């Protein structure tokens, strides 16, 4: 079984950093063919992400998988939506037999439940529920965190979750309308990005036992750099008043950034356009000092 090469994106391409939602219709062609059309991207990086997820579960599952007032009806609807998408997008890899999903990439037959399904894909998933005008994150399966912990976000509203992000105030002012759009419109795709000194997906703020905290934290740009991006798909579940966030982490190494015309110049421009607060939030002061010309 040969899997596709990972999709490549350049969300810094305009040369300006901003935190606007930047929602585009799901399925927008970014030059990655079939991968741009899929909710979950099955590619050659899957074995690495799968190994990372298994390591997270072995370390401590509750560090990476949390829930808060997750309605069983919502959980079931989300799992069914994921299973349907996998079978529709990747029929050569996933087939359904009653309550089981057959997964060719792992050789496993798993129950159609959130926790089981998410060990068969590379992506992380969050669920936002809404009830009586109140929204909250009810489920997080986050094995590729970017310097934040699932425990710190679970149960929070869309507004509260994004308060720490510098410049997000204007977006949060319309948080109610945003949440309604996530649930009842779309689906949408958006991207966020940053720069790291390694290509390890898991940057939980608390290192696993035995790991050196400074080495685990990363952002030691004198050792090198790579662009980290997240492809975030917002997938509404209006029948249960909820929405799925499907998050796929990817990396663009320096050789690829340099090879694309104008890409490195745009990256430099985008980093320089960040406010001091954004530079601190993204941990890029060292990148400015060590890498940018």
pLDDT digits (tens, 9 = 90+) for 52-80: 999 999 999 999 999 999 999 999 999 99
User: C-alpha 290: how far from its chain's center?
Assistant: 27
Q: How many CA atoms lie within 13 A of 72 on its CB side?
A: 0
Say what percent of the chain tops pLDDT 70. 96
pLDDT digits (tens, 9 = 90+) for 115-136: 999 999 999 999 999 999 899 9
Residue-range domain boundaries for the chain: 24-192+227-251
Say what percent of the chain tops pLDDT 90. 82
pTM to 2 decimal places:
0.93
Average per-residue pLDDT in the chain? 93
- What is the distance between the alpha carbons of residues 277 and 134, in angstroms, rounded to a whole number? 30
pLDDT of residue 292: 80
41: tokens are: 């991207």
Higher pLDDT: 173 or 140? It is: 140
Nearest to 182 by CA among 231, 126, 236: 236
């Amino acid at each position: 079984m040969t899997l596709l090469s990972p999709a490549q994106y350049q969300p810094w391409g305009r040369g300006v950093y901003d935190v606007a939602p930047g929602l585009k219709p799901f399925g927008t062609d970014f030059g990655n063919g079939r991968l741009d059309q899929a909710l979950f991207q099955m590619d050659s990086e899957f074995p690495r992400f799968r190994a990372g997820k298994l390591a997270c579960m072995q370390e401590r599952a509750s560090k990476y998988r949390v829930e808060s007032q997750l309605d069983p009806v919502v959980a079931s609807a989300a799992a069914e939506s994921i299973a349907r998408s996998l079978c529709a997008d990747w029929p050569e890899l996933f087939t359904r037999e009653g309550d089981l999903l057959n997964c060719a990439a792992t050789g496993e037959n798993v129950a159609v439940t959130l926790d089981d399904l998410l060990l068969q894909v590379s992506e992380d998933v969050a669920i936002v529920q809404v009830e009586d005008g109140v929204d909250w994150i009810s489920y997080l399966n986050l094995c590729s965190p970017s310097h934040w912990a699932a425990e710190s976000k679970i149960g929070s509203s869309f507004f509260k979750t994004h308060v720490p992000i510098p410049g997000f105030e204007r977006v949060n002012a319309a948080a109610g309308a945003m949440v309604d759009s996530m649930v009842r419109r779309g689906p949408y795709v958006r991207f966020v990005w940053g720069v790291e000194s390694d290509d390890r997906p898991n940057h939980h703020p608390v290192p696993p036992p035995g790991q050196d905290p400074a080495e685990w934290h990363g952002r030691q740009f004198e050792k090198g750099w790579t662009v980290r991006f997240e492809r975030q798909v917002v997938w509404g579940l209006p029948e249960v008043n909820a929405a799925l966030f499907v998050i796929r982490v990817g990396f663009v190494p320096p050789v690829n950034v340099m090879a694309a015309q104008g890409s490195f110049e745009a990256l430099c421009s985008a980093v320089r356009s960040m406010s001091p607060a954004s530079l601190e939030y993204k941990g890029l002061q060292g990148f400015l000092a060590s890498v940018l010309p």
